[in-house]
Structure 1
Amino acid sequence: MFFQSLTAVAAIPFASAQLNQLAQDAGKMYFGTATDNGELNNTQYVSILTNTSEFGQLTPSNGQKWFVIEPEFGVYNFSMGSVVADLAASNNQILRCHNLVWHSQLAPWVDTMTWSKENLTAALIDHVTQEATHWKGKCYAWDVLNEALNEDAYYNDYNIEHVSNKSNAARANIIKLLQDDGIRIDGVGLQSHFTVANAPSLDAQIENMQLFADMGLEIAITELDVRLNEPENSTNLANQSQVYENTVGACMQVDECIGITVWDFYDPFSWVPDTFPGQGSATLYFANFTKHPAYQGIVNALTNGTDSGSDNDNGDDCDDDGDSGDKKKKRDSHWWRL
């Protein structure tokens, strides 16, 4: 069994402070996780999920997507999305809402109806208005527009975590155009679905985040996970830990990066194995609820601040002016809402 063969790796000591506590102590708004309704039947999982020292923010993985919210044209059902939203509210956790517009997981009628530009625009406006109004005042942020760009080329997307044609297109062809038209856009979400073998470096992520920050945007890491090729071993788990550490470390080094969300924290509930056969173990907890070495990698980044990763050679960029408390207060007073 894997858990027997890697006992020494999984049993490394962890800092007593937990992730959300460490993130807030460092001046960030939250460290959070996505979760889904069916997962809430697992009592051990829920005990970790609702520990606000561990996770100060929740994102509904599926409960606010179009296929759930408007299963029939003009018929709205908010009950599934309310499960995680109500849990966050009852536990005093920040709610990031996900998502209003996406090309995937649409209700079947969206694909089967005949559309003109006019009636599709009207249906889209009605859907966004109904959903955003229902949760008005309850969401810290909405992923308003999700995955709008092709690979060639606010807003939430994948493969915009380092400077590339796609991230540059996001800045020039979406964000700047909206800003030039006077349309409010508060921030950008970097999904950060990485693989152990192909993840941007610490410095590459810092550079990219800073370019978004220079546009007056807040930045959030919204769907972080790091998949590896099965089976797990000490080498790929150590490499996974470094990727997590680099990504969280980049957020630590950019003031405008306000928080990190992992795309669930428990391997059995990860989306990865079904989507990428032969890959998995992408989260922070094994099936037996022991922690990946990546958990400690995140702790390293949160506690070491701007000196987080082994590939970080920017020690002169450290900002240790003692103002993290003031920055936290400022972020606590700023809420992205429609």
Structure 2
Amino acid sequence: MSYTLLQGTRDHRPNSPILASLSEGYLNDLARDNGKLWFGTAADIPGTAEQTDKDYLRILTNPKNFGEITPANMMKFMYTEPQQNVFNFTGGDYVLNLAEKNGMRVRCHNLVWSSQISDWVTSGTWTAATLTAVMKNHIYNLVTHWGNRCYSWDVVNEALNGDGTFSSSIWHDTIGPEYFFLAFQFAQEAVKKTGKDIKLYYNDYGLESPGTKTTAAYNLVKELQARKIQIDGVGLESHFKVGGTPSVAAQVTAKKEFLDLGVDVAITELDVRFVAAPYYTAAGEATQAQNYYDSVASCMQVGRRCRGITVWDFDDKYSWVPSAFTGQGGADIYNETLQRKPAYYAIAEAITDVPCTVC
């Protein structure tokens, strides 16, 4: 199958011995061979054009390429509980069925977040007690319904501001900071009801290097542990700008401090966006490749308990970036015509701990 290349782009096949043999569908095999559980991707299916794009699906469902899928939207509150105590598991089942058919894990995403909540929640009149009951019921139903078909759950997503304080949400503003610990308590109780091994994660951006927010996240982990509430890992989203990625050393330091607390880490939403066009120049793509290389290298350098790397979808055609950041884009490892970008090959070199030849 061939594709028309975007102007100024090419499907790089460098002369590096490792990269010379790199064919489509290789990154997950390479990650697993080097101690990771997966190289994965988010996918916004069902309900979008991705669901019917045969070329996209051919790449997505190749387990040599991706060993993990994160549902970008279909397990969020507004889709799974559109009316109070009326649950819709159809979208989540679609993702899980697709993953299981192709031997992939699923990081289930997410249980409690400030965004994409059903209108009946955000418009309701709640007390701390009544909203806590809503949260508990939602968590119990999702965790027990899907059981260990989910490798893990992002129990709470993006709870912190940049200064380390709790961000505003219906949960925080009604229940108070205790909502965070209650969410993990309810998730732990639900996991126990299943009798299965399901990992519980806190997921956030801005935790990829040392700083005020990262310190606040360490403290949340320590408080959960002090209360003997299950937390198995922290997801570092890793949404970056080209040329603005933290250094390898900074990313390693942040990850090691979480690991020193006895929890796992994972890179959960990696992408590196251009803040302005053009997105496909040799110099720009080389910088982007270096940024991907550095981020993946940090996961490799801290050892097996950085469990895996997940990109936040892999194809610029379906990227979330242009709709979220006007004028920005080109963030993924394939371009809009499904040609692999230098970043793709940089990831392979980072996984195998060789210098980047495409950066």
TM-score by length of 1: 0.87
- Whether 1:297 and 2:346 are equivalent positions in the alignment is yes
CA positional deviation for 1:15: 4.2
CA positional deviation for 1:71: 0.4
**Alpha-carbon displacement from aligned partner over 1:188-236 (angstroms, at most 9, x marks no partner):** 0000000013211111000110000000011110000000121121111
- Whether 1:16 and 2:21 are equivalent positions in the alignment is yes
> 2:293 is matched by which residue type in structure 1?
E
Contact 1:244 1:298 in 2 (8 A): yes
The aligned counterpart of 1:247 is 295
Structure 2 unmatched ranges of 5 or more? 165-200
1:267 and 1:6 map into 2 onto residues whose CA distance is 13
CA positional deviation for 1:308: 5.4
CA positional deviation for 1:73: 1.1
**Alpha-carbon displacement from aligned partner over 1:108-159 (angstroms, at most 9, x marks no partner):** 1111000100000000000000011111010111111100111111400000
Contact 2:5 2:337 in 1 (8 A): no
SS at match of 2:6: helix
- Whether 1:4 and 2:7 are equivalent positions in the alignment is yes
SS at match of 2:343: helix
- Whether 1:277 and 2:326 are equivalent positions in the alignment is yes
The aligned counterpart of 2:70 is 59
- Whether 1:217 and 2:263 are equivalent positions in the alignment is yes
The aligned counterpart of 2:212 is 165
CA positional deviation for 1:82: 1.1
1:289 and 1:191 map into 2 onto residues whose CA distance is 23
Which of 115, 122, 129 aligns to 2:140? It is 129
- Whether 1:268 and 2:317 are equivalent positions in the alignment is yes
Contact 1:249 1:309 in 2 (8 A): no
2:82 and 2:235 map into 1 onto residues whose CA distance is 26
CA positional deviation for 1:187: 0.5
Contact 2:243 2:291 in 1 (8 A): no
Contact 1:227 1:272 in 2 (8 A): yes
2:152 and 2:333 map into 1 onto residues whose CA distance is 24
1:160–1:308 Cα change, 3 Å? farther
The aligned counterpart of 2:110 is 99
**Alpha-carbon displacement from aligned partner over 1:144-182 (angstroms, at most 9, x marks no partner):** 11001111114000001100100000001x111000011
- Whether 1:287 and 2:336 are equivalent positions in the alignment is yes
CA RMSD of aligned residues (A): 1.5
1:243 and 1:142 map into 2 onto residues whose CA distance is 27
**Alpha-carbon displacement from aligned partner over 1:250-299 (angstroms, at most 9, x marks no partner):** 00001120100000001111100011111101011111111111001101
Which of 79, 85, 108 aligns to 1:74? It is 85
Identity %, equivalent residues: 47
SS at match of 1:243: helix
CA positional deviation for 1:90: 1.2
> 2:224 is matched by which residue type in structure 1?
L
- Whether 1:42 and 2:53 are equivalent positions in the alignment is yes
> 1:6 is matched by which residue type in structure 2?
T
SS at match of 2:149: coil
Contact 2:5 2:339 in 1 (8 A): no
- Whether 1:177 and 2:223 are equivalent positions in the alignment is yes
Which of 116, 128, 131 aligns to 1:120? It is 131
1:146 and 1:116 map into 2 onto residues whose CA distance is 22
1:91 and 1:108 map into 2 onto residues whose CA distance is 35
2:110 and 2:42 map into 1 onto residues whose CA distance is 12
Count of residue pairs brought into register by the alignment: 305
Contact 2:297 2:351 in 1 (8 A): yes
1:193 and 1:15 map into 2 onto residues whose CA distance is 29
> 2:236 is matched by which residue type in structure 1?
L
Structure 1 unmatched ranges of 5 or more? 311-338
**Alpha-carbon displacement from aligned partner over 1:11-58 (angstroms, at most 9, x marks no partner):** 343443410010011011110001022212100111110111110111
SS at match of 1:155: strand
SS at match of 2:7: helix
> 1:16 is matched by which residue type in structure 2?
S
Contact 1:202 1:309 in 2 (8 A): no
